[in-house]
Every structure is written in C-alpha cells, then in structure tokens.
Structure 1
Amino acid sequence: MSAENILTSAQRDDLRTIAAMIIPASDAYNVPGADDAAVQADILATLGRDTDMVRQALDHLAHLAGKPLADLDPARRDAVAREFRSTSGPAAATLVRVVLQCYYRDDRVLRSLGLELRAPFPLGYTLEQGDWSLLDPVKARPPALRRAQ
C-alpha cells in the first residue's frame, strides 16, 4: 500500500490542517509548519502501528467539524480543535505525537535548533547533568511490583 493510500484524501487534508494548527510555520526561526509537504510525506511514510489510532483521531475530528477542517473559519476551527483535544483521548494523543516526532526530525527544524544533522548514535549527544536528588522521593516509595522469585 502506498503512503497516499494509507489515509483518504479528506483525512490527508484534515491531517495537514490540524498539523498546521499544532505547529505553524515561523518566519522568525525560518522553519516550516508541520503542514509542510516534506513533513506530511514523512508522517504518511512512517505511520506504521499508529495508523489505526491516527485514522480514529482524524475521523473524530471530521465528525466534530462536520466538513473539511480547512473549510471552517479560524474561530470555528479553533473551537473544533479544543473539543477534539477534550474528547479524543489516546487517539488525539497519538496524532499529536506522530506530528511532533516527524516535525522534529526534519533537517530544517534540527538546523534551526542548532543540532547536527545526524543520527544520535553512535556518537550520542552530551547531556548536562541535572539534579539527581529530584528522584529521591521516587526512590523512597515502597516497591509497587512484587519481587521475582
């Protein structure tokens, strides 16, 4: 199945519209929005196991909108998005995660963040040391799982 056939034309249009609402383009940082063709192609190419949840989210979004999301005026589109966030649960969370993960691996976005255009391994990235004492309350909790025998 080709990437274009994973979602219907209407679902792809709504995906592009909601993606632009999640991450709009920025002239200040010279980055595209999540509705950019390359980002959208990456989303379609890598949906994989998230396909069903993303379809559910887009179908729910279409139901709430009553017509293509792009055809709504901005105020109505924002109202639909708010209702979508509050009523879609895991499907909406999956949709947002998919949009974010594809957006933040786009070369233009990585470049704007000052990151090297490379895979994180084998070189890795240097992380600043944080305050490990913040984990003390978690470590002090009694075990939540039974011990293996």
Structure 2
Amino acid sequence: MLATNELTSAQRDDLRTIAAMIIPASDEYKVPGADDPAIQADMLVTLGRDTAMVRAALDHLARLAGKPLAELDAAKRDAIATEFRATGGVAAATLVRVVLQCYYRDDRVLRSLGLELRAPFPKGYTLEQGDWSLLDPVRAQPAKLRRAP
C-alpha cells in the first residue's frame, strides 16, 4: 500500500509527461524542462498537502486518456491536455502550481532568469513600482468583510 505522500509508478510517469508539456526544455535559454530528473525529484519529495489533489489530477488525466498519458503519442496527449484544462478544476490547478513552483526554484532556472541563488529573505528583491491606480475600482467597492475590532 502507498504512503499518503507517494504516487504510483504510472502516476509518476504521467507527472513527468504532463510537466514536460507544461514547461518543455529550452536549448535557446539553456534550461531543462519540468520533466528533468532533479525537478521531478523535488516535486515528489515536496508534494506534502498537495498529494491528494495531484493524485486526483493525474487520475483524471489517465481517465481522459483511457490509459496512462505517458503511453499516448504527442497529438493525443495534446488533445487530452486541452480537455484536462477544461475539466480538471482545482485538482488541475494544483498540479500546474506544483510543477511551476518546483521548476522556478531550480538553480539552473534561476540562473537563466538572472536571479541570485538565495532565499528572498532577509535581503528581499527590489520590485519596480507599478500603477497603483489600477486598484482604484477595487477600493471603490463596498467592503465585503467585516472590520476587525
């Protein structure tokens, strides 16, 4: 029986397949795809509270495909991915978030973006100031939550 934070072999294969579809490798920018073994290992060890949702998303993908996604050719994978985006709901969003989160903390990816390989705290990162007036329509709406005492 699987531990609560583990995926089956077929689910791991499908995770690798869909991750490569979400973020393919780029020779131009010299970065790996999200199917890179190091990035995949990071995903598997950090799933934590997202494991159930990622499992649900991978199971949904397999149901749509009629078999493991990894066993389909590229054209059929693309068709299944399109349907998955439309019907996957919160589980699909969770899967995509996990892939993005693990990809964008890989050292090779950070280097390609010109970012220092360090935690954001305590030095922080400088953000350019944006146009705060874009929030005026939101600020003009009536309060939806009660104020704290």
SS in 2 for 1:75: helix
Counterpart residue number, 1:95: 95
2:114 maps to 1:114: yes
Structure 2 counterparts to residues 121-136 of structure 1, below 5 A = 121-136=121-136
Counterpart residue number, 2:145: 145
Amino acid at match of 1:72: L
Deviations 1:84-120 (A, max 9, x none): 1111100000000000000000000000000000000
Structure 2 counterparts to residues 1-149 of structure 1, below 5 A = 6-148=6-148
Q: Kindly tell me the number of residue pairs found equivalent between the two proteins.
A: 147
Structure 1 residue 148: Cα displacement: 4.0
Q: TM-score, normalized by length of structure 2?
A: 0.94
SS in 2 for 1:21: helix
Q: TM-score, normalized by length of structure 1?
A: 0.94
| Pair 119,147 (structure 1): closer, same or farther in 2 beyond 3 Å | closer
Q: What is the alpha-carbon distance in structure 1 between the residues aligned to residue 143 and residue 69 of structure 2?
A: 47
Amino acid at match of 2:147: R
Q: What is the alpha-carbon distance in structure 1 between the residues aligned to residue 146 and residue 67 of structure 2?
A: 51
Q: What is the alpha-carbon distance in structure 2 between the residues aligned to residue 131 and residue 100 of structure 1?
A: 27
Structure 1 residue 64: Cα displacement: 0.9
Structure 1 residue 68: Cα displacement: 2.1
The RMSD of aligned alpha carbons is 1.5
Amino acid at match of 1:10: A
Give % identity.
Answer: 83
SS in 1 for 2:90: helix
Q: What is the alpha-carbon distance in structure 2 between the residues aligned to residue 95 and residue 40 of structure 1?
A: 13
Amino acid at match of 1:89: G
Q: What is the alpha-carbon distance in structure 1 between the residues aligned to residue 75 and residue 95 of structure 2?
A: 22
Deviations 1:112-143 (A, max 9, x none): 00000000011000111111111111111111
Structure 1 residue 72: Cα displacement: 0.9
Q: Give 5+ residue unaligned stretches, structure 2.
A: none
